[in-house]
């Protein structure tokens, strides 16, 4: 159970990181255009 819990937390963290990266790239694209 513990490993499963830590796995879930890791997934959540990476998912948030992904969203932040996507929004960051989106903003950059807007600035370029």
Give the residue extent of every domain in the chain: 9-33
- Both tokens of 32, joined, read 């370029």
Q: How far apart, in whole angstroms, are the C-alpha atoms of residue 11 and residue 19? A: 12
User: For residue 28, how far is the Cα from the chain centroid?
Assistant: 17
> For every one of its 33 residues, what pLDDT tens digit does the chain have, with 9 covering 90 and above?
556 666 677 778 888 888 888 888 787 776 665
3-state helix, strand and coil shares in percent for the chain, rounded to the nearest 5:
95, 0, 5
Sole residue written with tokens 């600035």: 31
Angle at 24 (CA atoms; ends 20, 25), nearest 5 degrees: 120
Verdict on whether the full-model pTM lies above 0.75 = no
């Amino acid at each position: 159970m513990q490993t499963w819990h830590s796995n879930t937390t890791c997934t959540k963290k990476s998912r948030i990181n992904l969203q932040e990266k996507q929004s960051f790239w989106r903003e950059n694209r807007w600035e370029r255009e």
